Structure 1
């Protein structure tokens, strides 16, 4: 059977799901209209499991069809009945996909499954199950490749992280009347809103800060190697950047049993001139950087440590991602966090400590990343899968005058284990830290100017080749626009 027939069957299945759901609920919602304005919405507490499952199926069908029939016509998407009829015989393996695909696009795809469920009134745990089911279906029935160990991890767990954050941001946008932004944050509304005849429901008015920053900078790096390899110095002479920083609900003094009822999210993208080094000509000419750092409270308590002190203690989940010309790493890490703010007459001083265990992470393999080893003829990639530990330390001072100082350090100890990819890779420990320090001065109520410094240091204790010691430093000048 060709995939076109399978897709037709699946589309019919989705349609049947929705018809059944609408029929079953018609007696309860007979007076509902297709008016999504806040005045016409009544609270709907019913869980719409069929709509959630249909949204998950539809997401896979749309993405799978695009990959199979779209401009790229990806070879791995040319799925026929013989490829999927015996899923129990398919061995799970690590894959070697593009870094961006594995650790941003897969969590985002998992987030789409999750949003279909959350929009349908399912709770976070039920939505996580839907995301895991969507990931399983994708790996076994929408690809000719072997099911991927890393995708089956990053898609549902990363989908929970990204899905819950954008779900709540979408609710905020909708509550403030930014309907287009609501759909951008939560595109599964294009499916669930017409079926359920309402917008997603949930808390709003909890957004503490939402700001955009843009600027420019320069960076340099140095790597020390033993003979017969030469030390490598690199200069990235100029780049521009744009970033988004979000704080949802107050990080300090938070008490909740609901996962991600409080989270912090920072994203930044940069592009500029390359250093002249790298594994290919593009890397030599162009510098690029995309980073995502986030943490969400899974369970939080607000102990009383005295007057003028606001404290949060609880369980946290970290999702970090760095994809830079010089370095790359990622982590999914649950753990423990304590956050405290000390209020004074002139402002507030805050600090945080997070200790987490990495479920799955990645770290770049320097010898392939920077072209020290020639790229082999067989399939290879310049990063390896890891496990280990993560620590986050943050101190900040916010003056009533608008002056801000912030310093956050992410430290990682990752072990790159065997039997995951290619022969030219190596096992061993990677110890590295990424530090971000900044100062800001206000020029108006909505705009401030800042100077920041990003510092990266790494020591890689490889098993079979010489170890690597690297440092990277970037200085950035930026303007921050406080959208809220």
Structure 2
């Protein structure tokens, strides 16, 4: 039921963005431009997602270390019970309702759910596949993975994080594609455009805009096409 609700909400959101009559929004075309290097299309969806998932894993481990060092009054984590035995005990118990503050439950968790969602979406996977990735990452990697070492899995985090994260994530995705289709600019400013993209998809920003993807053999189809087309090699590589 939850997945169905999120799917219907996401489809409604997409239709709304496509048909909105106000401002000058142009919904990204289903046939993205092939001569705009700012509109990033990886040559391998699997390789892009694998790289972003690896960065996400390292980032989450660093993040949980930071949370572990924060005051217990903020995280509600009991550091004295941290360990593998605690993990076994926590995953064997039914999820509980946590009492985290609004900043964690209402802001941070949906944001990270959106970050999870953005990884397969920017790689080229569908909306439904990206929702599934967000749910799996939130549930098994975080709640029943890292966080279970210090506390019982939470109902809010299992449901709210990927559900709202997927909704916000689709907004992030459409806005990112809008910025990319306008040469990386937002409201005429490239600085504002890149800042928004970095905030909405920090992992993708590192891969695409800072060039990390190139070290893992990930190429931007549009960038290669833009540089190769004067030599007549565009079609040879693209297809």
TM-score range, shorter chain: 0.5 to 0.7
Secondary structure of 2:85's aligned partner: helix
For residue 138 of structure 1, what is the aligned residue in structure 2? Answer: 142
Matched with 2:156 is 150
1:443 alignment partner in structure 2: none
1:169 and 1:158 map into 2 onto residues whose CA distance is 17
1:76 aligned partner: 77
Task: Tell me which moved more, 144-153 or 54-63.
Answer: 54-63
Which residue of structure 1 aligns with residue 124 of structure 2? 121
Does 2:125 correspond to 1:108?
no
Identify the structure with bigger relative contact order (alpha carbons < 8 Å, sequence gap 6+): 2
Residue number in structure 2 paired with 1:167:
173
The answer to whether the 8 Å contact 1:113/1:134 transfers is yes
Name the SS of the counterpart of 2:99 in structure 1: coil
Structure 2: unaligned runs, 5 residues or longer: 1-34, 185-189, 224-239
Q: Which has the larger radius of gyration?
A: 1
RMSD between aligned residues? 3.1
Q: Using the alignment, how far apart are the partners of 2:222 and 2:165 within structure 1?
A: 18
Count, aligned residues: 164
Q: Please list, as runs of the form range in 1=range in 2, the aligned pairs for 1:13-32 lying within 5 A after superposition.
A: none
DSSP-derived class of the 1:76 partner = coil
Q: How far 1:155 sits from its partner (Å)?
A: 0.8
Distance between the aligned counterparts of 2:128 and 2:222, measured in 1?
17
Please state how far the C-alpha of 1:158 moved relative to its aligned partner: 0.9
- Kept in 1, the 8 Å contact 2:134–2:162? The answer is yes
Q: Deviations over 1:5-25 (max 9, x none)?
A: xxxxxxxxxxxxxxxxxxxxx
Structure 2 counterpart of 1:47: 45
Match of 2:63 in 1: 63
- Higher strand proportion (structure 1 or 2): 1
**Displacement of 1:107 after TM fit?**
0.9
Give the match for residue 185 of structure 1: 200
Residue 113 to residue 175, structure 1, CA distance change in 2 (3 Å): same
Normalized against structure 2, the TM-score is what? 0.58
